[in-house]
Structures are given as structure tokens and as C-alpha cells.
């Protein structure tokens, strides 16, 4: 049992009931008595600001063009100075990289391109020394087809690992020819079944052919997973981001999906019969024994269903990523214009769906989505900085644990993709085969859509300085091209400019960290229908904040609703200072935070 001591910085100010132990530190599971005035149980992971590192693209230390763990260690001071206190590391495990590490060959080994276990330990030590925490990616819906379990499983029908995966014989179609067991599609195009010549049966893969799905109905598989989780927790990691976790339980009768089900297959896959049972078992076997943070990637779970996975009384996960907000600009994989009332409706609904027993995440970017400022702000030169700062204001003042994706603190932008050769992502390449080579979509339209939606937008290397390849690598060639705007947009420039996006992130993170109302306070959207202004309050006891965001490139005069008066201006992303109480003259993309 690993009961680490956890600092809860806000406890002293917020405690309604003080537990028997010290007021500044509490042992795991003993902090349940710290309740905010509006009823939330205080937890370190609710007060955290998380920074996601995609290791392949963060910092290369040895010149092979691929980011690595020593590279991360060399940038820990940068992260600490930013003010984030939890790092989420995308997969760092041994992998043949069909899906950049989301296809794991050995859960207990470090990917050789990223370094060694000693490098991992040194990184973890550096993180702890800086009073930060580390959560790692738990990818256990599937493994790599090169994992030793799958190699054994596919070898014969009667080997002890056969049941670690999901195998079915094909069936005879109306034309008398053999077909896959059912019409389940893969998220990466084509059928979710792959025939394996060794035994003439099909295995299930919801993602790439090289990512066979584990059979969670086999208790041995579940115990293997719990053991590997303990392996990393015992090393000192502080929790997990769980990849596509609602998908672990399958309806193993595999009925044919109806045309309607095929339109929202994520929802179908996320509603297997034993999902909650397995998560509760995992919680009992692992999470309950440590003081950890868990966040599930909740593909296919609606906003209203969120409490099923995160209500603390159900003992499953702490939080989930719901995609309603980040995917508001897409229909499936196709880019769609989004509206501010639509985005506000997601946040309002999310808030209504969760009570004090459930906690939320706030994020609008990650390694699977395009760049924050390009998607939700305006990345053209006049407004890139202002809109990136406005988005940061929103992310750090909404209710829920905020997640920053690497480079968003520099307002890094989407990449100007021109040709298919510019892409690395398996999803982009498979889509090209499925949609362009079959003549369904023109190549130009396909690339134009990927320019706005493609995952590689977020995966181009971090831009550290104006030297060749943005200072990401000293080698001749990074694994994916650096955005050509690196000479202008890079960390060195941002650090040198006191008015930069990086320093604004720093300021907002600091403000959030010391303001209980911005963490736990009640949220109210003041003007849900307004097409350009997002105005909301966060209130906790006597502490009240008003946040006003002008989501447009137009200056506007905004009269606060319900006779509300603005209070004292704590932050303006554009340096406004004037006293304005009921009518605010907002500049394009201006964000203001008032304390009332």
C-alpha cells in the first residue's frame, strides 16, 4: 500500500470541517472531510492544472529527430515556471508505433526511441523534486499485435492466450462468400475484424489492424491490467489517463449494427454490458489502494451519462474527457462551423448534469485534435495572441480540472499541410485509402479538411526557439516537420516578452491556483444566447468572479445582464484598465476577469 502525503494548498482557506490531521497535508483517502461551502470534497486533482506531453514531439535530446524522456527532463523548469502541477505523459511504452505508442508491445518497458527505464526514473524524480505529479497513459482496450500475448494468442486456437483477445470465425454472406463475423467498423476505417491466416479466424480491432482489442471478459486479462497499473504506481506515478476506457466491455454476441447505429458507433461501443462492473473492480483492486488521479477518455459517453463514470459514490473514475466541446466543430471527421451559443450550451449542460459528487475536465485540444487557437480562436497575425489569451482565460476559469496541451501556451497553430506526404498519422493515411482512392472525396477536399481537423496539426514538434527545426532537435530531420512559423512562434520569444501568451498562461494559472471560487465556485452562464459574448460568474461563499469574453474580431459594447455591476478588474488580456461597471467596451477578442 502506497499512502503518499499530498499537499492541498487551498485547504486552509476552504475547510468547513477540519479533520484530525494537519491542515496542510492529508494522507490518501483521509481528505474526505474537507468540504467547500457549496459541498465539494476537496481533492488535489480538482485543484491541479494538467499539462499534456506528447513525448515524440516535445524535445529531442539525442538528435535522432524523435522527442525523448531526457528531453522532457531538460524542460521541467520551463513547466514548473509555467505553474502547471500535473504532467500527463502520452504513451512512453515499448511500441512498434503503428499509432505512435497507442499500440503497446510491452507495458513494463520504455520505448527505445524515448530512452530507458533509468531515464524514466530520472524524469519522475525531477518532476517530484519540483513538486509536480505525473500521470501516464493507460492503453488497455487494445495492445499491439506484437505484444507477446497476441503473438501467442494468434498462434493456435488452443493456446492459453487465445482468450486474451476476441476471436470469431467468419460467416457466409448472401453471395456465398465468407464475411467478417459482423459489420462492426474500425475507427481507423474498414472492418473492425481482421482475418488471421494462422487459424483462419478473425480478431477484433476497433482501431488499427495492428491494435487487437483485449478480451476484458477474461479475468486473467483484467488481473494482468491491474498488475501493470500497480507496477507503475509503485514506481511513484500519480495516476492514469485511460485511453478509450468505455470501450473495454463488448457485447460479445456481436449483433449486426443497424444503419442508425453505424452513424454513432462510438456510442454503441461505449455501452458494453460490463463497463461499469469492470471499472469498479479496477477501482477496488488498484485505485482504492493509492492516492491517484484518474481521467478516462470517454469516447461515446454523453454529457448526461458522465456521472455514471465519475460520481464518487460509484467508485469508478475521478473525471472523464467528454468530447462534446472539442468536437463541436465536426460532424464525424468532417469540419463544421461552430457557434458560441452551441459551445456555451455544452458547458451549461455539462454543469447541469454534474452535482457535487462528480468532477469535470476542461480542455479544447490534445494530441488527437487540431490546435486550440486555430480551432477556437483566430490564428491570423492580428488576433492570434489575443484570442489565445481569451481561450486561456476561459479554460482556467470554467469549472473542472484544466488540461493544457503542449504548445498551446505558445499559441502554436495548425500546420499548412499541402500533400499527403506531409502526414504521418495512420488515421489520415487510412482515410486517404478509404475515401480518396475509392473516389468518394477529391484529394484536394480531403487535404483541406485534414488541414482543419487532422491530428498531425497537434503533433508537429514543439517550437523552442528560432534555430533550425525550432530547437526541437539538433539532428538533421525531425520525425514530423516543424511548423514553418517557428521563427516567430517559439518559447524563447515568448519567455523574453513579458506580454506573451506564455506569461499570460502563467498569470491565469497563478490566479486560478489561489482562487477557491475559480476552482470550486458555482458556475452560471449569464447570457447563453449571445452570439459573441460568453459572460459567466463563479461564486463560492463571499468570493465572486465575473468573466466576460468577446469571442469575435469586432469591438463591442456589452451591457451586463440583470443590472449586474462589474466589480474590480483583475485581468484583461488586452491591458484595459478603465472603470466600467455596467457597460463594458470590449476590444476584439478581449477577455476580462472581474472580482466582485
State the minimum distance, in angstroms, from the CB of residue 207 to ligand NOJ: 4
Burial class (CB in 10 A: 0-12, 13-18, 19+), 40: buried
Please report, as residue ranges, which positions from 534 to 593 form the binding site for ligand NOJ (by CB under 6 A): none
Backbone angles phi, psi at 333, to 5 degrees: -100, 5
102 binds ligand NOJ (CB under 6 A): yes
- # binding residues, ligand NOJ (CB under 6 A): 9
The single residue among 68, 94, 99, 291 that binds ligand NOJ, judged by CB under 6 A, is: 99
State the minimum distance, in angstroms, from the CB of residue 53 to ligand NOJ: 13
Hey, is 27 helix, strand or coil?
A: strand
Of 94, 266, 297, 527, the catalytic one is 297
**Nine cell digits for residue 175:** 453471395
Please report, as residue ranges, which positions from 275 to 334 form the binding site for ligand NOJ (by CB under 6 A): 297
Beta bridge partners of 357: none
For ligand NOJ, give the closer residue by CB, 243 or 351. Answer: 243
Please report, as residue ranges, which positions from 348 to 367 form the binding site for ligand NOJ (by CB under 6 A): 367
Quote the CA–CA distance of 503 and 500 in Å, as a whole number. 5
For ligand NOJ, give the closer residue by CB, 245 or 394. Answer: 245
State the minimum distance, in angstroms, from the CB of residue 297 to ligand NOJ: 6
196 catalytic, yes or no? Answer: no
The label of the residue with cell 484518474 reads 294
Quote the CA–CA distance of 225 and 118 in Å, as a whole number. 23
331 catalytic, yes or no? Answer: no
For ligand NOJ, give the closer residue by CB, 90 or 580. Answer: 90
The single residue among 94, 184, 196, 243 that binds ligand NOJ, judged by CB under 6 A, is: 243
For ligand NOJ, give the closer residue by CB, 232 or 502. Answer: 232
State the minimum distance, in angstroms, from the CB of residue 423 to ligand NOJ: 14
For ligand NOJ, give the closer residue by CB, 207 or 523. Answer: 207
For ligand NOJ, give the closer residue by CB, 139 or 390. Answer: 139
Indicate the helix (H) or strand (E) that contains 51.
strand 50-53
State the minimum distance, in angstroms, from the CB of residue 510 to ligand NOJ: 29
Backbone angles phi, psi at 296, to 5 degrees: -95, 135
State the minimum distance, in angstroms, from the CB of residue 372 to ligand NOJ: 16
For ligand NOJ, give the closer residue by CB, 207 or 502. Answer: 207
Q: Within 10 Å of residue 581's Cβ, how many Cβ atoms?
A: 11
Question: In whole angstroms, what separates CA 303 from the centre of its chain?
Answer: 16
**DSSP-derived secondary structure letter, 287:** G
Burial class (CB in 10 A: 0-12, 13-18, 19+), 425: buried
Indicate the helix (H) or strand (E) that contains 94.
strand 93-94
Question: In whole angstroms, what separates CA 10 from the centre of its chain?
Answer: 25
Of 99, 145, 243, 494, the catalytic one is 243
Q: What is the largest CA-CA distance in the chain?
A: 78
Which of 100, 104, 49 has its CA nearest to residue 79? 49
State the minimum distance, in angstroms, from the CB of residue 211 to ligand NOJ: 6
Transcribe 148-210 into DSSP letters. HHHHHHHH-TTSTTGGGB-EE--EE-TTSSEE-SS-PBPTTSSBSEEEETTTTEEEE-SS-TT
For ligand NOJ, give the closer residue by CB, 367 or 503. Answer: 367
Quote the CA–CA distance of 453 and 369 in Å, as a whole number. 7
For ligand NOJ, give the closer residue by CB, 250 or 512. Answer: 250
State the minimum distance, in angstroms, from the CB of residue 99 to ligand NOJ: 5
CB-based contact 78:91 (threshold 8 Å)? no
State the minimum distance, in angstroms, from the CB of residue 221 to ligand NOJ: 17
The single residue among 48, 139, 292, 395 that binds ligand NOJ, judged by CB under 6 A, is: 139
Quote the CA–CA distance of 163 and 567 in Å, as a whole number. 63
Please report, as residue ranges, which positions from 430 to 489 form the binding site for ligand NOJ (by CB under 6 A): none
The single residue among 8, 66, 229, 244 that binds ligand NOJ, judged by CB under 6 A, is: 244
State the minimum distance, in angstroms, from the CB of residue 142 to ligand NOJ: 7
**Nine cell digits for residue 424:** 504521418
CA angle 465, 467, 468 (to 5 degrees): 125
Please identify the residue of the shown chain whose CB is closest to the bound ligand NOJ: 102
Cα–Cα distances (Å) from 93 to 64, 90, 163, in that order, read 18, 9, 23
Please report, as residue ranges, which positions from 199 to 228 form the binding site for ligand NOJ (by CB under 6 A): 207
Strands 568-572, 591-595: pairing is antiparallel
Indicate the helix (H) or strand (E) that contains 69.
helix 69-74
Indicate the helix (H) or strand (E) that contains 593.
strand 591-595
CB-based contact 446:42 (threshold 8 Å)? no
CB-based contact 301:247 (threshold 8 Å)? no
Please report, as residue ranges, which positions from 149 to 188 form the binding site for ligand NOJ (by CB under 6 A): none
For ligand NOJ, give the closer residue by CB, 291 or 408. Answer: 408
Q: Where in the sequence numbering do the catalytic residues fall?
A: 243, 297
Residue ranges that bind ligand NOJ, judged by CB under 6 A: 99, 102, 139, 207, 243-244, 297, 367-368
Amino acid at each position: 500500500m502506497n499512502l503518499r502525503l499530498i499537499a492541498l494548498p487551498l485547504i486552509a482557506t476552504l475547510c468547513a470541517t477540519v479533520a484530525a490531521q494537519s491542515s496542510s497535508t492529508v494522507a490518501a483517502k483521509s481528505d474526505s472531510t474537507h468540504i467547500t461551502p457549496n459541498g465539494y470534497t476537496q481533492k488535489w486533482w480538482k485543484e491541479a492544472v494538467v499539462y499534456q506531453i506528447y513525448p515524440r514531439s516535445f524535445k529531442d535530446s539525442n538528435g535522432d529527430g524523435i522527442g525523448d524522456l531526457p528531453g522532457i527532463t531538460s524542460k521541467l523548469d520551463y513547466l514548473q515556471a509555467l505553474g502547471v502541477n500535473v504532467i500527463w505523459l502520452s504513451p512512453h511504452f515499448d511500441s512498434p508505433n503503428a499509432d505512435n505508442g497507442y499500440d503497446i508491445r510491452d507495458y513494463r518497458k520504455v520505448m527505445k526511441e524515448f530512452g530507458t527505464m533509468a531515464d524514466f526514473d530520472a524524469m519522475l524524480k525531477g518532476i517530484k523534486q519540483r513538486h509536480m505529479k505525473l500521470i501516464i497513459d493507460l492503453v488497455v482496450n487494445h495492445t499491439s499485435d506484437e505484444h507477446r500475448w497476441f503473438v501467442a494468442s494468434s498462434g493456435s486456437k488452443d493456446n492459453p492466450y487465445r482468450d486474451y483477445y476476441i476471436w470469431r470465425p467468419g460467416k457466409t454472406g448472401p453471395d456465398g462468400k465468407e464475411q467478417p463475423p459482423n459489420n462492426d467498423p474500425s475507427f481507423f476505417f474498414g472492418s473492425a475484424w481482421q482475418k488471421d491466416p494462422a487459424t483462419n479466424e478473425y480478431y477484433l480491432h476497433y482501431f488499427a489492424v495492428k491494435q487487437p482489442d483485449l478480451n476484458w471478459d477474461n479475468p486473467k486479462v483484467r488481473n494482468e491490467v491491474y498488475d501493470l497499473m500497480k507496477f507503475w504506481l509503485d514506481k511513484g506515478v500519480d495516476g492514469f489517463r485511460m485511453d478509450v476506457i468505455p470501450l473495454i466491455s463488448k457485447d460479445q454476441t456481436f449483433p449486426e449494427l443497424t444503419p442508425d447505429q453505424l452513424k454513432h458507433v462510438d456510442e454503441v461501443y461505449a455501452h458494453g454490458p460490463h463497463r461499469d462492473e469492470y471499472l469498479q473492480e479496477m477501482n477496488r483492486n488498484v485505485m482504492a489502494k493509492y492516492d491517484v488521479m484518474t481521467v478516462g477518455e470517454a469516447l461515446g459517453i454523453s454529457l448526461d451519462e458522465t456521472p455514471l463514470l465519475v460520481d464518487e459514490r460509484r467508485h469508478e473514475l475521478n473525471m472523464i474527457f467528454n468530447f462534446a466541446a472539442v468536437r463541436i466543430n465536426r460532424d464525424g471527421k468532417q469540419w463544421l462551423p461552430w457557434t458560441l451559443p452551441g459551445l456555451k450550451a455544452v458547458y451549461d449542460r455539462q454543469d447541469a448534469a454534474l452535482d457535487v459528487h462528480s468532477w469535470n475536465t476542461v480542455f479544447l485540444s490534445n494530441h488527437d485534435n487540431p490546435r486550440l487557437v486555430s480551432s477556437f480562436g483566430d490564428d491570423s497575425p492580428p488576433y492570434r495572441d489575443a484570442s489565445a489569451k481569451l481561450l486561456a482565460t476561459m479554460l482556467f476559469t470554467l469549472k473542472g480540472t484544466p488540461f493544457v496541451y503542449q504548445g498551446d501556451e505558445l499559441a502554436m497553430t495548425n500546420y499548412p499541410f499541402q500533400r499527403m506526404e506531409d502526414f504521418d498519422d495512420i488515421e489520415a493515411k487510412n482515410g486517404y485509402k478509404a475515401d480518396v482512392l475509392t473516389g468518394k472525396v477529391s484529394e484536394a477536399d480531403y487535404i483541406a479538411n485534414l488541414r482543419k481537423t487532422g491530428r498531425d496539426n497537434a503533433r508537429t514538434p514543439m517550437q523552442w526557439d528560432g534555430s533550425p527545426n525550432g530547437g526541437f532537435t539538433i539532428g538533421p530531420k525531425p520525425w514530423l516537420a516543424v511548423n514553418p512559423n517557428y521563427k516567430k512562434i517559439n518559447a524563447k520569444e515568448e519567455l523574453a516578452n513579458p506580454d506573451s501568451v506564455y506569461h499570460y498562461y502563467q498569470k491565469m494559472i497563478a490566479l486560478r491556483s489561489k482562487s477557491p471560487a475559480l476552482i470550486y465556485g458555482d458556475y452560471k452562464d449569464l447570457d447563453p444566447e449571445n452570439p459573441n459574448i460568453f459572460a459567466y460568474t463563479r461564486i463560492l461563499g463571499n468570493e465572486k468572479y465575473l468573466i466576460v469574453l468577446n469571442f469575435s474580431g469586432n469591438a463591442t459594447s456589452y451591457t451586463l445582464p440583470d443590472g449586474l455591476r462589474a466589480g474590480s478588474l483583475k485581468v484583461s488580456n488586452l491591458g484595459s484598465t478603465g472603470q466600467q461597471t455596467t457597460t463594458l467596451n470590449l476590444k476584439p477578442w478581449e477577455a476580462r476577469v472581474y472580482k466582485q
